[in-house]
Chain A
Amino acid sequence: MSNSSKTLFDKVWDSHVVRQIADGPDVFFIDRHFIHEVTSPVAFLGLEERGISVLFPEKTFATADHNTPTINQHLPVEDPLSANQLLQLEKNTAKYGISHWGLGNPKNGIVHVVGPENGITLPGMTIVCGDSHTSTHGAFGAIAFGIGTSEVEMVLSSQCIMQPKPKKMRINVNGVLGKGVTPKDVALYIISKLSTSGATGYFVEYAGDVFRNMSMEGRMTVCNLSIEMGARGGMIAPDQTTFDYIEGRDLAPKGADWDRQLAYWKTLFTEEGAEFDQEINFAASDIEPMITYGTNPGMGMGISKLIPKATDLDGGVSSYEKSLEYMGFSEEDSMIGKKVDYVFIGSCTNGRIEDFRAFASIVKGRKKAEHVTAWVVPGSHVVEAQIHEEGIYDILTEAGFALRQPGCSACLAMNDDKIPAGKYAVSTSNRNFEGRQGPGSRTLLASPLVAAAAAITGVVTDPRTFL
């Protein structure tokens, strides 16, 4: 009986296969393609070299985000290489008739923030972008994943890519989350249990009470981080929370079209008895606010715990020791009380309105620690406007925080927002790799609440003491 039951993933994947190649990948149709300035120029160059064009320009959406400055966006971009990438994006999109939300456009922002907030991302879709955090869009019950530039060229020229169908994993988290435990903590907890390669080869469905009760912003944070455990992507079945979020957004379906699509979206769930290649269960009550101590997102722990000993872990001892040496930490150190130099709140992981609400809930009525440099970077102009409308801007300003302009910023430090060598940054972003936030930078990944507590105290602090 179970053999005919389909998973959410199967339903969406199977309906997008144009052709199955024997002993090869599926030719996989893409509904929505996002592009940005960094991973698209070589793809456009490839089109020109081959003398081919863009097949469905209306299915591709461009925004500038990776290398854009987060101050003085009205001025010309100083770095000539970044300026050239932005110019190429503008030229390439104009040439082929692709929608482009460049710097200064009120719709501009981080690609994985602006897609959903404008109603471009919809349930049941296949979505790709030359960026691994495209997994974010899985929060809507879409199959969304990052691709390389050769594949960007494939999507531009044929609206398809070649993909073998991944295996299926379901991660269930049931129960009720404790005080101060956010979606970011849930994701960092799962990654710490599975490691950065624990879901490689799989596409994940997140299920259970915790995700059912989560807002769309929270689901996006969780799906965003799927890639950090090696999964190509993660998805959550759409429900009323999803439909309520989408309804009325600029590019979302309207009227009869809405009714028709809504009826389809309601069929997107995993049927009883459908099989997964792997199923993993966690209890919400085991999760506390998380922080990372090493140089990959799997090296995370509950904020009250001690850094594990290399010999207690599965991986290689020398790689682990190299990582702790880079961070300047030792086995069995507590993270609580470690000095923090920088705090970064933003990115496609935690750059949405809910994240700034959480940050503000702790900094309200308090002052930023004097020695801490804080970068508060909204994910889009829409988020920036919400920050003003909801009075969060005033709370931030009174506490000594300045609000910057939207972009990827210090998450990958392609612009000037670089953490200096040797300095410690508590970041709400997604990667703590060596040098990720600037050469020699040391990143502690955490939730907006942990970031706020660190910004106020100047040291790693359990946010629950403020709640």
Chain B
Amino acid sequence: MAYDSFSILKSSAVPMPIENVDTDQIIPARFLKATERKGFGDNLFRDWRYDKNDQPKADFVLNNPTYSGKILVGGKNFGSGSSREHAAWAIYDYGFRCVVSSFFADIFRGNAINVGILPVQVSPEFLHQIFEAIEKDPKAELVVNLEEQKISIVATGASESFDINGYKKHNLLNGFDDIDYLQAMKDEIKTFSVNR
């Protein structure tokens, strides 16, 4: 599904300094029963966000009005576990367009890009600097520049570059997706399938 293009994102960020945030936390399995890609944001981090009576847990960051923004900053090994793309849909549907971590699980990283979320992997040191900046000022802004492959902390001026392959970058900048690309090479694929 083609998505909004991504170029420069300037936003405050929501800090989640927890390691190994798995996709079962991002969206528990019991909320995977929809047959359309709609409404998953309501159940983002469901069991961390709500108690068993469906009341918001005050100490969870998404329930704290001090923090907001289109960037989610997570601890090391973000998105491990299940391949459920619903995790990326939930993050997108909630309103995030970028997830920053010092390490991403492979399948989550791919799913994120495929739904139009930019996963930005930074060094552990830079991740620490981001958490510090947000601790100092919850409205501290980050700038994510995809064209330049650079992420900066506005308040401190600190910045770091991040990796993304040229093909995926081009897709995100233009809102293209892999299915468009594959449809355009169907004859080549058919020939390949016969010869192998």
Residues of chain A touching chain B, judged by Cβ–Cβ distance below 8 Å, are: 15-16, 18-19, 21-25, 27, 29, 38-39, 41-42, 45-46, 49-50, 52, 55-56, 66-67, 79, 81-82, 84-85, 88, 130-132, 134, 146-151, 153-154, 157-162, 164, 166, 196-197, 200-201, 227, 230, 232, 296, 315-316, 318-319, 322, 412-414, 421, 431, 433-436, 439-440
Question: What residue of chain A has the Cβ atom nearest to residue B108's Cβ?
Answer: A148
State whether A296 touches B80 (Cβ < 8 A): yes
Q: How many residues of B contact A (CB 8 A)?
A: 57
Contact partners of A29 in chain B: CB under 8 A: 189, 192-193, 196
Contact A23/B35 with A131-B83, A230-B77 known, Cβ cut-off 8 Å: no
Distance in Å: Cβ of A19 to nearest Cβ of chain B: 7
Cα distance, A154 to B1, chains bound together (Å) = 10
A159 engages B114 (CB within 8 Å): no
Q: Given the complex, which residues of A lie within 8 Å of B192, measured CB to CB? A: 18, 29
Q: Are A159 and B1 in contact (CB under 8 A)?
A: no
Which of A16, A131, A412 counts the most B-chain CB atoms under 10 A from its CB? A412
Binding site for A on B (CB under 8 A): 1, 17-20, 22, 24-25, 28-30, 32-37, 47, 52, 75-77, 80-86, 88, 103-107, 110-111, 114-115, 165-168, 177-179, 181-183, 185-186, 188-190, 192-193, 196
Residues of B within 8 A of A316 (CB): 19, 75-76
Contacts of B104 in A (CB 8 A): 200
Given A148-B114, A150-B1, check contact A157 B183 (CB 8 Å): yes
Residues of chain B within 8 A (CB-CB) of A412 are 24, 29, 82
The residue from B17, B167, B179, B190 contacting A154, defined by CB atoms under 8 A apart: B179
Contacts of A146 in B (CB 8 A): 82-83, 107
Which residues on the A side are within 8 Å of B110 (C-beta)? 147-148, 151
Contacts of A85 in B (CB 8 A): 33, 35
Give the distance in Å from the alpha carbon of A67 to the alpha carbon of B33 in the complex. Answer: 8
Which residues of chain A come closer than 8 Å to B111, judged between CB atoms?
148, 150
Known: A24-B165, A153-B179, A157-B182. A196 touches B114 (CB 8 A): no
Contacts of A46 in B (CB 8 A): 1, 179
Q: Which residues of B contact A200 (CB under 8 A)?
A: 77, 103-106
- CB of A410, distance to nearest CB on chain B (Å): 11
Tell me which of B35, B114, B166 has the highest count of chain A C-beta atoms within 10 A of its own C-beta.
Answer: B35
